[in-house]
Structure 1
Amino acid sequence: MNHQLDPSPIQVLLVDDHPILRQGMRQLLETHGGLHVCGEAGDGENAVVQALAHKPDIILMDINLPKISGYESSRAIMTAWPEAKIIILSNQDDPHVMKKCLDLPVKGFLLKDIQIEVLVEAIRKVRSGEPLALSEELAQKLKKKERNANGHLREALTEREREVLQALSKGYTNQKLADLLVVSPKTVQNHLYSIYHKIGVSSRSEAILWAIEAQL
């Protein structure tokens, strides 16, 4: 894919706790035209400092970092600087970790075993504002994890809780739910607290969205 030429190099911040890896990454990136490593950080706290000091075009962020994790570091950076473009570069392919990071949302999630050409292309795409999709392998792992998680959560609900959640997704009020189930509004509220806890949400709207996505 052709990208519009920019006379100024893309400024990249490298965040990884292994100095040798950062050194090698710097050399590889800077052998490709149009890229410049403007800073490095070996822990999560320094990553935040460096990111806000340099305001790089792209931040390559590892997950496992001293002091604070790459996830917490990314969240802190994006809170202070919402325009930050962060690509997670990790050796973890855990779907839970991927989803947690993408929900921030960072601009992409890549594994460290990719080819340097793929990484450079990803950097250029994100810099130009193009979306960076997960690799097919990672996307399938994430979908499988979500299907399994929703399946386990559905099994954890009692039959009555499923009834409450199904009615909730139809827009029923607590009073209408109580009338439908022939119970008190207080019992309905207790069911809702139990449902929220089991499926990991904290509000009525989140529970409705979960029920729709889980095809309850």
Structure 2
Amino acid sequence: MKRILVADDHEVVRSGLRAIVETRSNWIVCGEAINGEQAVALALETRPDIAIIDYSMPLMNGLAVSRRLRSLHLRTEVLVLTMHETEELLTEAISAGVRGFLFKSDARKHLISAIEALLDGKPYFTSVLLEKLLHEYQVNARNESGRLLTSREQNVVQLIAEGHTNRSISAILKLSVKTVETHRASAMRKLGMSSTAELVRYAIRKKLVSP
């Protein structure tokens, strides 16, 4: 029996994904999460074969979840669902260890195929264009990596944009307030920003939070 974790902050989406997954008699939805933090906790508890993760979720987005699962050495393949189609998002997803990338509008048609591919150890992307971008990213990843925020910096920026204080972020991420401040300052330095408002605009532009 293959175990599938579903994470999306909208109940109707989770129900739809569960209905598609459970059309296969040897697949079972082992848990449903409504935010990124809960997705990580459920993955640790249930050890799913596949985690279907919405890109835009509270507390930790889909890419932050993928990075966390990799750091915990879970043998869970991540399939990210998104409404956004950008080269930048794809390259960030691959950097986070994501091997499956599916647009929400294609889920009904392609979800089964995507899960089958990941279970077979193969990547799954919804178009030839994305396959091409994957190849180009892998070739150029070393040159690009220095310009990206670390996963922790990106997580801190997302929580700042969601309106959390440094103290609140420290509780959520289980870090000291000083460490949160260090990540915040590092992110602002890398991005060339000097205010919280600029960080919020950056998070909206990068689809880390909804406007």
| TM-score, length basis structure 1 | 0.58
Percent identity over paired residues: 30
> Does residue 26 of the first structure (1) align with residue 18 of the second (2)?
yes
The AA in structure 1 aligned to 2:85 is: D
1:114 is aligned to: 106
The AA in structure 1 aligned to 2:82 is: S
Listed as ranges, the gaps of 5+ residues in structure 1 are: 1-8, 147-152, 154-196, 198-216
Distance 1:72 1:131, change over 3 A: closer
Q: Give the distance between the partners of 1:137 and 1:68, measured in 2 at CA.
A: 27
> Does residue 103 of the first structure (1) align with residue 95 of the second (2)?
yes
**SS at the partner of 2:106?**
coil
The AA in structure 1 aligned to 2:54 is: D
Distance 1:29 1:92, change over 3 A: same
Q: What are the within-5 Å matches in structure 2 for residues 139-154 of structure 1?
A: 139=131, 142=133
Aligned 8 A contact 2:4 2:29 in 1: yes
Higher relative contact order (CA 8 A, sep 6+): 2
Structure having the higher Rg: 1
| TM-score, length basis structure 2 | 0.59
Shift of 1:83: 2.3
Q: Give the distance between the partners of 1:39 and 1:31, measured in 2 at CA.
A: 16
Shift of 1:116: 2.8
What's the Cα RMSD here? 2.5
Aligned 8 A contact 2:66 2:97 in 1: no
Moved over 4 A (4+): none
Shift of 1:93: 1.0
Aligned 8 A contact 2:49 2:77 in 1: yes
Shift of 1:138: 3.2
**SS at the partner of 1:56?**
coil
Q: Give the distance between the partners of 1:120 and 1:105, measured in 2 at CA.
A: 20
